[in-house]
Structure 1
Amino acid sequence: MNIRPNGVKLVVPAAASKPLQNSPLVNYALNGLECCWLPEHRRWSHIYHLDGRSSPNESVPNSDVFYTLNVLLGMSRVAEVPSGIDVAEIFRRNVLPLTRLLVRKYAFGMALWTAAELGLAIPEPVKCELRTILADESRWRTFRAQDLGMLLTGIVAQTRAGENEWWRYAKPLYRFLKERFYSESGLFFDAPFGFRRRFSSFATQTYLSIACYQYGEFAGDASALVMADTCVRNLIQLQGPQGEWPWFFDALSGRVLDFYEVYSVHQYGMAPALLEWAERFGRRGAQEALIKGFNWILGHNQLGRTMLMPELGLTIRSQVRKHELKTKAPRVLRAVKNVWLDNGGTLIDSADVGVRLECRSYELGWILWSFGRRTDLPELTHNCAFGGA
């Protein structure tokens, strides 16, 4: 990306805008992020609409700042960050609003994680808010899986980077995770209490498994590594025939409740982030599942179509049941019915599947994180779909 300090984009030849140290996949994501950039706010957007509207970027401030922190996390693994991106300045401008915007607790976890990976200081007002969140264990009852997973991951990352202030919260958080979020099925619950907890998403499994891997490795706690590995083993067994990662699970029984929506970011970003850890700890089939899932976005899917928008460097968000493009109500009702009827989620006829024409900046951030340092999968990172050989 080429952006002046005042936010004005530079017009340069295409060849000059592609850092040579990066893989074609990473440069593809960097090019896409240029489309999502909001120069007046110094952040990346909530949604880039792909339906041809004249103003495709949609800004939602509390989401923008979280997505921007997610993108910066990815930047920490990029070999050659484009010279127009002032990572420290963007971090500073987008971490401070966490204290005044209505954001979920996981945004603070992302701030911890991103700051640690980039070697940046967290502003004192944000630290103060974090201490309030972490010190009152009664408030943890309201945590969802993503809140807990990102906070624990961020704490481990900070401690690994030498910021020991946060480590005292790690063991209590992990104990809470183990006692209230882990199911005997081998999957994770979405919440510590209530009817909703058993209805968990792929994101639930990803964020809590990564947190367990991170904590288990750093703390030398084998139980955390076993929980993460068991979850990954089960996810690989539940992966769809063309590499689809299911969206909705019954954590109590360990069954798929609904495959849809099948999100591109899970295929190329979040699953690879998790499976990188699984590979490190010897989980059989992890790399094969990663490759199979990634190939889904290249056209090995129900619709037989690419999920890329090469002219923009963006990706199409998901494949979804056509009649659910504008409402989630049927999906919720179907999940409840499948639980009580003991039905398992299956793929439907492709004639009833459509695509959600949007891209979110954090999705591209996960590409940067998952593939910024990988050199062992050239069939993905240098695939011709991204301009590679």
Structure 2
Amino acid sequence: MTQLASLDAVDRGATALVERLVGLAPAGLATAYLPETGEFAQTVRGLPGAEGVRVRREGTNTRYAAIAALGLATLPVERQRAVLGGRTAADVARLAAGHAAHGTDPGAVALSTWALAEVAGEYAHSLVERLELLLGGHAPIAAVDLSWLLTAAVAANPLADTDHLVDRAAARLLGHHGDHGIHPHVLGGGPRWRAHVGSFADQVYPVQALARASVLTGDATMLEAADHTAQRLVDHQGAGGQWWWHYDARDGSVVERYPVYSVHQHAMAPMVLFDLLEAGGADHRPAVAHGLRWLDRHPEVVEELVSERFGLVWRKVGRREPPKAARGLAAATTSLRPGLQLRGVDRWLPATRVDHECRPYELGWLLHAWLPRRTQEEACHD
């Protein structure tokens, strides 16, 4: 059963929303694409002007290119070429791997290894060697980067023996799995005043990595840890379906709720929770549907978050505040005592601001989450 069919059994309205978003995503990715170089922008920003609203590409990002390749690979090759100016998702994955090989970003290395294996069916020897070096010592590592490393090792396993990398990455991730299922942002380090804080991404990518690794290895401990973290996130889901932003690794409580990111609602939570279900974990489809519904029902703002005109989903609903003020206050306050909250923060810093940008990885994960992954044989016969 496909993810869409599985969701339809729970909430047909949520399924219709996903179909609408999946239909928009290729246009949005085409807007974020730089055909001259085969790269993807860091962001696409909506801007007002005398002649009306327009969008502007800004910067480039290798991570986002790899994720876009993973998403676009779910489309027929001719559709890929239409979005990518004649290239395919496999071409983009190869280009991203080349950029990652000459960069210093461990997340880009891991994602490019994953994309190259899953999309192009190619094993990136030099990138895997760099991943092995990352695990060679005891230096701090971001939870997201380690999770992507583990998922990359699982993806590459059919092409070469990566069992040792899978085992070492999983062991390190499990070593920082808190009693309440919450991972800190940096494993083995980070500023003291916020070392206890982990974001939503710091939770869902470990769930995905451990779920996929459990399928490969048959290790029930990995699946149990993934289930534990997922349940904690579902327990804290907002009344409007919101997936909250920051959590406390010491007691599993919510540190700061906002911003609510659209990608968490339509792509990251569904992608990861379906991976967990397919691995034999808990069924969280009602929570997936509830999170999706936030995109239409969001109680925080009147403004619509889905831009049919540009094929984009606006990035987040956040507080009206000086940059990162609420996040800093919440981290500092909870560093004194778990669960300690400032009174009146919702009144002083209301969550009424829509961020009019969209990053290509958001649309890449959207396609990757909801459309069936195409085998190499299927791609060759397009």
Length-normalised TM-score, structure 2 = 0.82
- Could you tell me how far apart the structure 1 residues matched to 2:342 and 2:262 are? 19
Aligned equivalent of 2:145, options 138, 147, 160: 147
Measured after TM superposition, the shift of residue 42 of structure 1 is: 1.6
Give me the identity figure in percent.
25
User: What does residue range 118-129 of structure 1 map to in structure 2 within 5 Å?
Assistant: 118-122=119-123, 127-129=125-127
Query: For structure 1, which segment, 235-244 or 190-199, has the greater mean C-alpha deviation from structure 2 after superposition?
Result: 190-199
The one-letter code sitting in structure 1 at the alignment partner of 2:63 is: F
The one-letter code sitting in structure 1 at the alignment partner of 2:69 is: L
Aligned equivalent of 1:93, options 92, 95, 99: 95
Aligned residue number for residue 168 of structure 1? 164
Contact 1:338 1:345 in 2 (8 A): no
Change (3 A) 1:268 1:43: same
Contact 2:42 2:360 in 1 (8 A): yes
Contact 2:256 2:326 in 1 (8 A): no
In the comparison of the two structures, how many residue pairs are matched?
A: 342
Contact 2:93 2:120 in 1 (8 A): no
The one-letter code sitting in structure 2 at the alignment partner of 1:147 is: D
Aligned equivalent of 1:288, options 283, 286, 289: 286
Change (3 A) 1:283 1:239: farther
Aligned residue number for residue 198 of structure 2? 200
Aligned residue number for residue 273 of structure 1? 271
Query: For structure 1, which segment, 83-92 or 341-350, has the greater mean C-alpha deviation from structure 2 after superposition?
Result: 341-350
Measured after TM superposition, the shift of residue 185 of structure 1 is: 1.1
Measured after TM superposition, the shift of residue 248 of structure 1 is: 0.4
Partner of 1:48: helix, strand, or coil? strand
Aligned residue number for residue 311 of structure 1? 309
Partner of 1:141: helix, strand, or coil? coil
Aligned residue number for residue 111 of structure 1? 112
Confirm whether residue 372 of structure 1 aligns to residue 371 of structure 2. yes
Measured after TM superposition, the shift of residue 110 of structure 1 is: 0.8
Query: For structure 1, which segment, 144-153 or 352-361, has the greater mean C-alpha deviation from structure 2 after superposition?
Result: 352-361
Change (3 A) 1:79 1:229: farther
Aligned residue number for residue 185 of structure 1? 180
Measured after TM superposition, the shift of residue 277 of structure 1 is: 2.2
Measured after TM superposition, the shift of residue 256 of structure 1 is: 0.2
1:58-95 Cα shifts (integer Å, max 9, x gaps): 4433xx22101101111233356344232232222222
- Could you tell me how far apart the structure 2 residues matched to 1:303 and 1:354 are? 8
- Could you tell me how far apart the structure 1 residues matched to 2:342 and 2:25 are? 32
1:355-388 Cα shifts (integer Å, max 9, x gaps): 11111111100110111139xxxxxxxxxxxxxx
Confirm whether residue 70 of structure 1 aligns to residue 64 of structure 2. no
Measured after TM superposition, the shift of residue 128 of structure 1 is: 2.1
Change (3 A) 1:46 1:39: same
The one-letter code sitting in structure 1 at the alignment partner of 2:111 is: M
Contact 2:100 2:112 in 1 (8 A): no
Change (3 A) 1:157 1:281: closer
Aligned residue number for residue 4 of structure 1? none
Contact 1:233 1:283 in 2 (8 A): no
Partner of 2:321: helix, strand, or coil? helix
Aligned residue number for residue 60 of structure 1? 59
- Could you tell me how far apart the structure 1 residues matched to 2:128 and 2:54 are? 36
Confirm whether residue 362 of structure 1 aligns to residue 361 of structure 2. yes
Aligned residue number for residue 236 of structure 2? 238
- Could you tell me how far apart the structure 1 residues matched to 2:121 and 2:281 are? 33
1:129-187 Cα shifts (integer Å, max 9, x gaps): 4313414644452211011000000101111xx222422211111111112x2001122
Aligned residue number for residue 7 of structure 2? none
- Could you tell me how far apart the structure 1 residues matched to 2:32 and 2:300 are? 28
Partner of 1:322: helix, strand, or coil? coil
Change (3 A) 1:353 1:140: farther
Partner of 1:229: helix, strand, or coil? helix
Measured after TM superposition, the shift of residue 213 of structure 1 is: 0.2
Contact 1:45 1:57 in 2 (8 A): no
The one-letter code sitting in structure 2 at the alignment partner of 1:254 is: G
Aligned equivalent of 1:40, options 27, 36, 40: 36
Measured after TM superposition, the shift of residue 40 of structure 1 is: 2.2
Aligned residue number for residue 215 of structure 2? 217
- Could you tell me how far apart the structure 2 residues matched to 1:38 and 1:55 are? 17
Aligned residue number for residue 257 of structure 1? 255
Change (3 A) 1:215 1:285: closer
Aligned residue number for residue 378 of structure 2? none
**Aligned Cα root-mean-square deviation (Å):** 2.5
Partner of 1:234: helix, strand, or coil? helix
Aligned residue number for residue 376 of structure 2? none
Change (3 A) 1:140 1:39: farther
1:244-280 Cα shifts (integer Å, max 9, x gaps): 1011011111000001111101010100111112333
Partner of 1:301: helix, strand, or coil? coil
Partner of 2:148: helix, strand, or coil? helix
Change (3 A) 1:202 1:345: farther
Structure 1 residues without counterparts, runs of 5 or longer: 1-21, 375-389
- Could you tell me how far apart the structure 2 residues matched to 1:136 and 1:360 are? 27
